[in-house]
A and B are shown apart, each in its own frame.
Chain A
Amino acid sequence: MAEAGQWRRPQPIATSFTEEFWAATKEKKLVLQFCPESQKFQHYPRPLSIYCGRRNIEWRQASGRGVVYAYTVTRRGPPEFHGREPYIVASVELDEGVRILSNIINCSVEDIRVLMPVQLCWEPIENGLHYPLFEPAKR
């Protein structure tokens, strides 16, 4: 069994149409795909607008604010996460009207709640990139 602290976040494997997302994380910016025709965001990134079926996608910066739509506390994770458990995985509903799967950090597993307001924070990963995480909103 791995010692606490030895866990390692698996690096995301980017695709040809998600380069903008990961490039923006170098500057700790969360960008989302936006369809100008339907005026709607979409996430996860797609190869076209799921609303109008055209490849007219723009990337727009998100506020980083949202609420926990649903969560689970992982008691025994995939091998890379051994030593990290228990940790919180959540579907975060962003103010932009999309949900993103992430971890809620700086929050005990006893305190996590559905509808809890959360804010964006970042964890450095390889090649100067960052992974978007969330923590309880400070307000």
Chain B
Amino acid sequence: MFQRILLVAAREFRQIAMTRSFWLTLLILPLIFALGPIASRFIDKSDTDSVMIIDQAGGATATAIRQRVEIDGQRATLDALAQYVRRHELQRADRAAIWAQQDHWYSDAEVAKFVASGGLKTALAAIGRVSKQDADGFEAPDRDYRVIDTPPALANVAPADLGKALDPYLRPDDKSNRKPVDYIVLIPHDFGASPLIRVWANGTPRGSMMTMLQGVLTPDLRTRFLAGVGVPQATGLAANAIAPVVQVTTPPPGSGRERMLIRSILPLACAYILLMSLVLSGSWMLQGTVEERSNKLLEAVLACVSPSELMYGKLAGTVAVGLSMILTWMACGAFAAYATHGAIADVIRPALAPVASIGSVVTILYFFVAGYLMVSMLFLVIGSVSNSMRDAQGYLMPVILLIMMPFMLLVQAVLRGTGGIAVEVLTWIPLYTPFTVLARLGSGIPTWEVLGSGALLGVFVLVEILLLGRVFRASLLNESSRRLPEMLRLMRQPG
């Protein structure tokens, strides 16, 4: 009996593996992952907005804005470097360096000190002395803003004519091959006496741009105001320089909310892969079963194998197809991690944490196989009661919708870390148990829930195979399509 089941499974596997759609599906996921980063290199993905400043008030304000943009950019670099040093435990490169400090929101003075000490170049040189690979691996973040030179022709345009004069810079002609300027800031002649400045934006302005401008211009206006009411200029400047020193406590890299996110990546990916491979391999098996029925070859097969052997063989073949897809995708992931010299592994390592124990691996395997059997059985029965794919579509679409519908809700709930009653309920509905348990492995699911829902799922699969198996056996040589009430009647008939 076992040999015949294996033969049917092997034929089923071969038939699916010979289809073009199987290979396309198998390769398309790794291809997307491989081509994604390559394609992104050819796409201008810079998030840095260009800023042009027309300062008609003498140039001091433009210089202040330019300095602010530079300091903010350096702060972002310093912040990213400090996190990188902490994650890779590189403090030993220079324990006194500002980037080796923890729990810190860098003040302007500290950023200035970082720049004065040689900035990123000097820091990476120090890191390189303890780990050249880590020094090479750091990538500074893109800056938010970049101040570009102001064409001399714009410097003295009358304010009333500026709108027209700036148009070619904000919305350049396609033929000019110029990139549009994102922001043009006008500091009018009377700025100071008047608080008004003007900003032309190439779209809805970012909040950070407005905050940055206000941050630069407000102290200037306040200093002028204080001077106007008789406060000495030095006092006014000192008052404006007062700022709180903020001490920040953050969890180590890869913990806290970040930890939740990273730990949920792999389990969520498992749930998604299970869902996708299930729907695909189930559809292929369904097609095969419909073909067997419509080709009238079942009777010859049934003379050699029993209906139960045929059913188990088909289920085993489909599980094998699904698992081979998953193994291929995992192998591609492992290869990518190896090929990228640990860059991906850095991400995967914390993600592997929730699935690294034997118990987790067994849990994943159990819910994978049980999920496969549960959904494949549905597809198999649909195939056995349908004479054509058109017949099958009538059952297939509702079933696929039913399976897939709560998945987005599940993903969002798991990523937010808010389980909630909906996720709890989904865990205990056998149709959704495999996906929900797999998805929740990262954010934490009590052991009793895994065991309880797993046991319920196991019982459900056994009962499903028993009842739907009756429909399968009774429908194999039936030439007409079966309706739902008839299928329900067959489920009640033993043997």
Whether both chains belong to one complex is answered with: no
